[in-house]
Chains A and B, each alone.
Chain A
Amino acid sequence: MAHGKRSPAFYWLAILFGLFVLFLYGPVIVIAVLSFQGPEGGLTFPMHGFSTHWFHQLFAGQSIGDISGAFGRSLKLGLVVMVITTIASFLAGLGFRSRFKGASAIFYIAIASLIVPSVVISLGIGAMFELLKIDRTWITSALGAQLTWTLPFGLLIMFAAFNRFNKSYEEAARGLGASSLRVIWEIVLPILAPSLLGVALFGFTLSYDELSRTSQAAGALNTLPLELQAMQTNATTPVIYALGTLTTLLSFTVIGLALALAIFLKRRRARHGSDAVKTA
């Protein structure tokens, strides 16, 4: 299996894999094409001409809700979630390296937070704010709701990273007299940079697209996914495809930047690296 000629199974599996990738990306490509419908065009094929009419409509936006407001909120919320998720997960990852009371309790709470159905968490947060007579807003209750989704992912990534982390570099630095803070800053952080980048990517993208947990927690002003949901129920024009294309493009840009940065970090290490780089 591992040597010599390809077995026939390889080709069947490769075809299946190819079909799966088509299945994953095909639909999004279809709406990307449809978002360039001519002004007369409808929600499905055939294409009636080719134009950027629906993108203009999106920005002219009288009939459609508060797209730019929702977009702005989602972007800001995504960045805040990203920063909090990265810092909190990194710190927790450091903490979990030593034994302390309650470690496994916290770990299982994090796992539970990931798999308790989103609608239950959203309802609980909504009810909590209702009982405390605090208005639910996108930057308070919705922020908290999204963190219950992004932090477990962040923590799991940090666990995986620290499991592969070779402590002897740290000990060497300590032995040479570096302070704890300096060890973290000059040894731990650079080695873990790619993993932290991964945490940040999860933090931003999962927040930017989150709907289920945010739904009961966002309050009066919608985030972009909530706005999209409202639009979707009475969409009659390809304007929703235009919005879909743009927001997917933004996601791809963010993912692309993260991957490019990861490759850059890897290459830079390969060039300047000592042995320390091989561990991460």
Chain B
Amino acid sequence: MSQPDLNNTMATPETRRRVSGPFWSVLSTPRIAPYLQVMPITAVFLVFFLIPVILVVVISFFDYQTYDILIPDFTLMNYQDVFSSSVTYETYWTTAKLSLIVWAVTLVLGFTLSYFLAFHVRSRSRQVVLLLLCTIPFWTSNEIRMISWIPLLGRDGVVNTVLQTMGIVKQPLEWLLYSKFAVVLGYVHLYTVFMIVPIFNSMMRIDKSLIEAAVDSGAKGWQVVLNIILPLSKSGLAIGSIFVISIVMGDFVTVNVLGGGQVASIGKVIVTDLSSLQFPPAAAESMVLLAFVIILIAALVKIVDIRKEL
């Protein structure tokens, strides 16, 4: 670094630089510092996210054989295989339907619960405690949380036993476990939190005087919810939707544990290909999935500017 001109450095960054030596002075130069500070995170995303995803694009055009799992090539074969199979369309249809149901349920549930937390719970500390109560399971194992539905929903499970004892059903219900029902239940159980947190966050920003004004002008409770709170929490609704849809569309774990081989999903098709080391077909499937997710998210992103929400 050049020696700062002592006459002109009062209260400029140069004054600070001299304090802790040349090394730190380079790091803390206002123009260079941000680049160095974001370098670690950028490096990780570059090596473990960008390059791998680009690689998936490239590999989707590769050829493959049983003992040679990646043969560099440019072939549309993998895509032809994807689009020519009727299984593909059925799988996409199933996955899209599941996503839609889960999206609708988590949206309504997330909105209602957030509304309760934001507008009916009055003390700040009670809000924090109740919100934490909703988020704590998110920090525990998703897998265990799925597995823990099995003794409840199984043929001899708690729900069936109760229903039979009460005489509501004669035969145990078979569709409770290893079914679409179980998968949807699992998703709602696991991912409603992704709706609650952003929606609650949006609701807490709503100016309470707006609501008071509406009430004073004679608006009923449901009118306030519909005409004020709902439109003003749309960015939270959009962020939650992005999370839920992208997770459910790509999921293969919940479908496996709670679908028990009865429910198909795109993610599961990809993982099945991978388990037989068929990288190129899995990559082609991934690209189609990615395109699907991107289209959905692009529609949602129009509603929301994520950076403004934080």
Q: Which residues of A contact B (CB under 8 A)?
A: 1-2, 6-7, 9-10, 13-14, 16-17, 20-21, 23-28, 30-31, 34, 43-45, 84, 87-89, 91-92, 94-100, 103, 106-107, 109-113, 115-121, 123-128, 130-131, 144-145, 147-148, 151, 155-156, 159-160, 163, 174-175, 177-182, 201-202, 205-206, 208-209, 211-212, 215-216, 225, 228-229, 232, 240-241, 244, 247-248, 251-252, 254-255, 259
* Bound CA span A43–B154, Å: 10
25 residue pairs from A and B, CB less than 8 Å apart:
A7-B221, A17-B113, A24-B189, A43-B154, A44-B157, A95-B37, A98-B30, A106-B42, A117-B250, A119-B250, A119-B267, A123-B56, A124-B55, A125-B48, A126-B279, A127-B59, A147-B44, A160-B310, A163-B310, A180-B28, A209-B142, A211-B143, A215-B271, A241-B147, A255-B136
Specify the chain A residue showing the minimal Cβ separation from B52: A124
CB-nearest residue of chain B to A43: B151
Give the complex CA separation of A39 and B35 in angstroms: 60
| B175 located at the interface, meaning its Cβ lies under 8 Å from any Cβ of chain A in the complex | no
Stretch at the interface among B1-9, B74-82, B83-91, B126-134: B126-134
Q: What's the minimum C-beta distance from A117 to chain B, rounded to whole angstroms? A: 2
Q: How far is the CB of A164 from chain B (nearest CB, A)?
A: 9
Is B50 in contact with A109, judged by CB distance below 8 angstroms? yes
CB distance from A102 to the nearest CB of B (A): 8
- Contacts A20-B134, A21-B134, A163-B310 aside, 16 further interface pairs with beta carbons under 8 A come to A27-B145, A88-B41, A91-B39, A92-B40, A98-B33, A99-B34, A100-B31, A123-B283, A127-B55, A144-B44, A144-B48, A160-B310, A174-B16, A182-B20, A201-B139, A208-B141
Contact of A120 with B37 in the complex, beta carbons under 8 Å: no
Interface residues of B in 157-213 (CB under 8 A from A): 157-158, 161, 189, 192, 208, 211-212
A115–B54 alpha-carbon span in the complex (Å): 16
Q: Assuming A91-B37, A120-B56, A255-B139, is B45 touching A109 (CB within 8 A)?
A: yes
Q: Verify A107–B28 contact, CB threshold 8 A.
A: no
Whole-angstrom distance between the alpha carbons of A91 and B39 in the complex?
9
- Known contacts A216-B274, A248-B144, A252-B140; is-contact A130 B279 (Cβ 8 Å): yes
Nearest chain A CB to B280 CB, angstrom units: 9
> How many residues from B make CB contacts under 8 Å with A?
101
**Contact at A13–B120, with CB atoms within 8 Å?**
yes
- Give the residues in chain B near A145, CB-CB below 8 Å: 48
Residues of B within 8 A of A87 (CB): 40
Residue of A99, A115, A177, A211 with highest tally of chain B CB at under 10 A: A115
B147 & A232 in contact (Cβ 8 Å cutoff): yes
Does B150 sit within 8 A of A, measured CB to CB?
Answer: yes
Contact A100 B147 (CB under 8 A): no
A128 to B33 CA separation, bound complex (whole angstroms): 31
A180 in contact with B24 (CB, 8 Å): yes
Taking a contact as CB atoms under 8 Å apart, the answer to whether A180 and B286 are in contact is no
* B250-289 near A? 1/0 per residue, CB < 8 Å: 1111001100000000010011001000010011001001
Give the shortest distance, in Å, between A159 (CB) and chain B (any CB).
4
Q: Which 4 A-B pairs have the closest CB atoms?
A: A117-B250, A124-B52, A95-B37, A144-B48
CB within 8 Å for A120 and B250 given contacts A25-B137, A43-B151: yes
Q: Are A115 and B242 in contact (CB under 8 A)?
A: yes
Say whether B139 contacts A30, CB under 8 Å: no
B41, A92: Cβ atoms under 8 Å?
yes
Q: Which residues of A contact B147 (CB under 8 A)?
A: 31, 228, 232, 240-241, 244
Q: Which residues of B contact A111 (CB under 8 A)?
A: 306
Task: Write the nearest CB–CB distance from A189 to chain B, whole angstroms.
Answer: 14
Counting CB contacts under 8 A, is B302 at the interface? no
Are A119 and B52 closer than 8 Å at their CB atoms?
A: no
Q: Which residue of A lies closest to B37 (CB)?
A: A95
Q: Are B270 and A228 in contact (CB under 8 A)?
A: no
User: What is the distance, in angstroms, from A260's C-beta to the closest C-beta of chain B?
Assistant: 13
Asked if residues B35 and A212 are in contact (CB atoms below 8 Å), the reply is no
CA distance A229 to B151 in the complex (A): 17
Q: Distance (Å) between the CB of A16 and the closest chain B CB?
A: 6
Residues of A within 8 A of B134 (CB): 20-21, 24
Tell me which of A44, A110, A151 has the highest count of chain B C-beta atoms within 10 A of its own C-beta.
Answer: A44
Encode B9-41 as 1/0 by CB contact (under 8 A) with A: 001000010011000100110110111111111
Is B100 interfacial (CB-CB < 8 Å)? no
Question: In the bound complex, do residue A119 and residue B270 qualify as a contact, i.e. CB atoms below 8 Å apart?
Answer: yes
